[in-house]
Structures are given as C-alpha cells and as structure tokens.
Homo-oligomer: A and B are copies of this chain.
Amino acid sequence: MMIKVTLPDGSVREYEQGVSALDVAKSISEGLARKVLAANVNGEVWDASRPLNKDVSLKLLTWEDTDAKSTFWHSTEHLMAEAVESMFPGVKFWVGPAIDKGFYYDMDLGENSLNEEDLLKLEKKMSELAKQSNPYLRKPISKDEAVQLFTEKGDEYKLDLLSNLQDGNITLYSQGGFTDLCRGPHIPNTGFIKAVKLMSVAGAYWKGDEKNKQLTRVYGVSFPAQKELDEYLAMLEEAKKRDHRKLGKELSIYTMDDDIGQGLVLWMPNGTIIIEELERLAKETENAAGYKRVVTPHIGKENLYLTSGHLPYYADSMFPPMELDGTKYYLKPMNCPHHHKIFDAEPKSYKDLPYRIAEYGTCYRYEQSGELFGLMRVRCLHMNDAHIYCSKEQFAQEFRAVNDMYIKYFKIFGIEKYVMRLSLHDPAKLGQKYVNEPGLWKQTEDMVREVLISSNIPYVEVQDEAAFYGPKIDVQIWSAIGREFTLATNQVDFNSGNKYKLSYSNKDNGQDVPLIIHRAPLGTHERFIGFLLEHYAGKFPAWIAPLQVKILPISDKFMDYANTILETLKKADIRVEIDDRNEKIGKKIRDTEMAKVPYMLVVGEKEMNERQVAVRRQGKGDAGVKGLDEFVGELVAEIKERRGEEAINN
C-alpha cells in the first residue's frame, strides 16, 4: 500500500507504507540524508528511522532546527549513560533531558563518585562508542513487561517513572549495549556525535527534594563536528571574560546595596552616561517617528490592575500593596494602564490617530531572589516603552514602522544575528486562553506575518504562545560572541482598548475602539546594557563610552597644552579627562587600555609645538599623529553617526 507524504513546500510524494523519514530523505538526495537527525511528523518530533504507516505531513530536521538539536543532545545523554554503565556496572539512572545548551543526566552511582579525571575518561569512552555508529532502536513495550524488566534489574528509579506512565505509550530505546526507558525520539545512530564535552558534575536531590537521596548530575554538550565544539568552548571562555557583572564592577557601571534591596540597580555615573545616550537615541528616533513623550507615576491603585487583569492573574510577579486611605496602591509592573489613562484624558478623534506615546518608564516586578541575576534579572526595570493607538487600517503601517525601528537599532549596535519569534493563538482555545475575537486574530496575525515577510525579517512561527490579547513577537538577538538574548516583545493588543473603555470618534461620528501596539525595541536599560557589556566586552563605541578620550601628557611640562586640548574637546561636547598622574607614559597607556577608553591622546614636545595629538585607538594601538582640530572633527562625526564597528571587531 502507498502513503502520501506532504513536504513543507507543499509538494506531495508517494511511498510504500512503512517508509521512514530517512528513506524519504534518501529519495531526495544522499547528501540530505546524511544530515537528517530527526523528523517532524504531523507536528510531533519522531525518530527519522521510524516507519510511516499513513499519510503524513513531514519536515526533515537537521542541526539547524532546535528540535533536532534537542534530539541530538538527548541521544548523546544515552551515549553517556552507556559509557557510565561500562565504567560503573550497576549504576541506576533517573531522568536526563536535553537543556538549552546540551544535556544532563541524574544517576545513582552507589558508593562511587565522579571527578574531573573520570569525566575525561568518560568522554574518551563515549567517542569510541560513537564511532561504532550504533543505531538507536525503538521498542514499544507493555507496562507489565517494562515493570518486570526493571524489577529484575532492581531499578527503583525507572519503576518510579513507570508508575506514572500509561500502558500503550511506553517505549524502550537501545543503542550498543545500553537500554533505557525512554519516550524518544533519537537520532539515527551514534555516528553523528563527533564531539563531546562533559562540562561538570553536581549533586542533585532526587525529585528536587532535599529530604531525598542526593544523586550525581553530569552536564554535557555535544556537536556534529569538532570545530563547533571548539568554537562553543571558546565562546564560553570569552563570555566569562565578558561577564556583565564583572565588567559592570570594573568599569563602575552599576552597583547594588543590601540596604536598598536585591535586584535594585544603583546606576553609577558611568552607567548613567550609557543610559542617557540610549535615551537620547530613543528620543531622537521616536521623535522622528512621530511619538510624543509622557511621564507617569510609578504607582497606581488596585483598580487599575484589576482592570488590566494583572492582579487576578499575575499578582505573584508584582510587589505587595501599600495600604493608604483605605485603598491599595501598587508599584506598576508595566506602563500600559498609565498610558491608557493619558490617551483617555482628552477626547480623541480619528484625526488624532495614530497616537503614539513613549516613556522610559520604570516598572517594578517581583522576581524570586534565587532568580535574580546581575542586570539580566532584576526587580526595577527602566523600559523603552511606548504604546501606539491606531485604527485597523493604520495597523500594518504602524507595525512595519516598529519593526523598521528594531532593525535600525540592530544596525547601530552591530547586532547581525536576530530572529523574531511570532507567537500565534490556538483557535481551539478562543474564549479561554485567548480573547474570543476570531476575526481580529486572523486579521492581525496575517498582517504581522505579511509585514515580517515583506520586510525580509528572519522569523519563526510558534503556535499557541500568543498573549491573551493578541499575537506577539519576541525578539531574540545574538551578541558578538554568539550568545542569545531575548531582548523585548512587540505585541498587538485588541483587548485593552475595550477593558479601559478607550475610544475615538470615527469619520462617521461614531465611536471606535483603537488597536494598541505595545513595543520596547531597546528592551530595558538593565538587560540591554547587560547585553552591550558582553557584546562590546566593555569596549563601548565612542558615542556611548562613559569616557571618550583620555589625554596622556608625557610629562608635567605639557599640562598646559593638555588643558588646551581638554577645553577644546569639552567645547565639542566630548567626554574627556587628563591623566595628570606623575607616571611613565607606558603605564598611563596600559591603565587607559584597561579602562577601555576608546581614544588616547599622547602629547609631548612635538604635539605641543604643532598643535597636534598622537592618537591611540583602544585595542588597536597607534593611529597616527593628527592636527587637534582634525581629530576633533573626526571624533565629533564618529559620535554623531554613532559608529560602532571598531568596538565590536576589537
């Protein structure tokens, strides 16, 4: 019997029943087949070698696909288990998922333990086993049989897992000499795993409960090529050097204080300069794009957040209330309701739309203290916020303009890799998880998708992850060393207008409810500056560097000329200081390099006599001798244009 296989491009091919995704790949090309790690079959991830017995939609998954990566790491975890079992016969395994980057497995080693040396031995063993290209074999098994099997093995962990599984849905996977209770899927065979690194060992209580036995957790990562592993390890090494908490302290960007509170950032003068440059950029950009600015308080009454739906659903992520005059006041977790109130303060007509209001609004959110992390997870957020109130007709253009703004910023900051993650609703959940407006969902999702496609913006679609009130876009960006950050969301909202009773008079003198776009291209100062610290390794481009120029007189004799330079640069609004210490020029240069100041001007006899400066560029050394005015002119242009390539490639 033949079945029909529909591929992502819509083409339909016919195959014998029982064909595997791998067979389909081979029928297309051998090269493709060599890259296939798993398959998406009717929306589920399957082993590429599993037989297809009826008509299906099929997507072949390769290393580029997130689901394939997870499968790859999950299979590597089984490979690790095989190696561990060979080293410690009788070892018992609990669970071991693929994680964001790599995998882990929790195991009960009995009397044994693992040290760094053991990890190296395991890696070696895993390489040997991988080279055998043993296939991962899937075997459905009845619950009774499975219980019998693991009872015989005396494996209380798998028995515990089994107790929660339903008969008919249970499978075993085997490769080489190792068999595990596992839902799968897996890659075709171990030969795909070309490079493995076991990162660390840690203790982990069984089921996360400290009253239970402590198991041994081994973290690892693997790649289909040694080169990729090498790059990944180099990136980790670089990320450690670029840690925003380390750089934030070294460069006096921010501090925290126990008396103020966890997750509450005190921005020191250097950090504040960066904040002000970011806000200047945002204001210029938003001003040119027709936004108006507003300023709103940081608190609001209970009723505001009952209307928004925050209090009933997200009270846990808000600060607790302040009881005053018989009312509860809350620190605002977002700026939307305050902006809606400004929209509502005066009657609006269609002529006032699109009405765009922006504010670097400071919001407060409660994060568990264990979740707090440097600038990345904080409790006080300065948000590059704005709300656009528009008609349906205006929506596509407004949404496109917002996306253009993102792209403009990415260029300025040299962010070359980014993806927009478009979260859509699930029609089956209308009226529950999603506001019941099927027409508006279709319309806005289509409009958003069209804008993304026609703007040629890389994006992925995710089902069933929209906001309650409309589709949303999460923007993911990668730093210069390839680490991923979630920057901001960009949301369509066709519900808040109703909730807050917002309206405008249309051309027919009727009242319409505006659509609202929530957007924050620069995210929060906290997260964005944390990102920039890593992205630039603290070597900020001149326009945003806290100190832009340091003047290094070779000796005290040149202090007068150094002061002339200082005043000239200050007049051009350049942030400049003199290193007036009684130190050798070599030490002055080294210290200024360490402080990551973009430009150094070394001045001695010749420079003084000719009104010149000997320019050094941070990380690049000597950049030649220039006339003072020429240097000022060039730097002013660099700052004005917000040039940044130098800093990233540094």
Interface residues of A (CB under 8 A from B): 252, 255, 257-261, 264-269, 271-273, 275-276, 292-301, 303-304, 307, 319-325, 327, 329, 331, 337-338, 341-342, 344-346, 357, 362, 364, 366, 369, 380, 382
Closest 3 interchain pairs by CB?
Answer: A269-B292, A267-B295, A255-B345
A500 CB to nearest chain B CB (Å): 9
Within 8 Å CB of A364, what residues of B? 298-299
Across the interface, name the chain B residue whose C-beta is closest to A252: B346
| Distance of A222 Cα from B450 Cα, bound (Å) | 75
Q: Please determine whether B307 and A295 come into contact, CB atoms closer than 8 angstroms.
A: no
Q: Please determine whether B380 and A266 come into contact, CB atoms closer than 8 angstroms.
A: no
Q: Please determine whether A267 and B255 come into contact, CB atoms closer than 8 angstroms.
A: no
Within 8 Å CB of A345, what residues of B? 255, 257, 266, 268
| Distance of A470 Cα from B341 Cα, bound (Å) | 43
What are 13 of the A-B contact pairs (CB < 8 Å)?
A: A255-B342, A257-B345, A259-B300, A259-B337, A260-B301, A261-B301, A264-B299, A266-B345, A267-B294, A269-B292, A269-B293, A269-B294, A320-B322
> How many copies of the shown chain assemble into the complex?
2
| Beyond known contacts A260-B338, A266-B342: 10 more, CB 8 A cutoff | A261-B327, A266-B338, A266-B341, A267-B294, A297-B380, A298-B380, A319-B322, A319-B324, A320-B323, A322-B331
Within 8 Å CB of A266, what residues of B? 294-297, 338, 341-342, 345
| Distance of A321 Cα from B329 Cα, bound (Å) | 11
Once A319-B324, A320-B324 are accepted as A-B contacts, the answer to whether A260 and B300 lie under 8 Å apart by CB is yes
Across the interface, name the chain B residue whose C-beta is closest to A525: B295
Within 8 Å CB of A295, what residues of B? 266-267, 271-272, 275, 382
Within 8 Å CB of A366, what residues of B? 324
Within 8 Å CB of A255, what residues of B? 341-342, 345-346
Once A304-B260, A325-B369, A357-B269 are accepted as A-B contacts, the answer to whether A298 and B346 lie under 8 Å apart by CB is no
Within 8 Å CB of A325, what residues of B? 369
Within 8 Å CB of A324, what residues of B? 319-320, 366
| Distance of A259 Cα from B366 Cα, bound (Å) | 22
A246 CB to nearest chain B CB (Å): 15
Q: Please determine whether B296 and A276 come into contact, CB atoms closer than 8 angstroms.
A: no
Within 8 Å CB of A294, what residues of B? 266-269, 272
A450 CB to nearest chain B CB (Å): 30
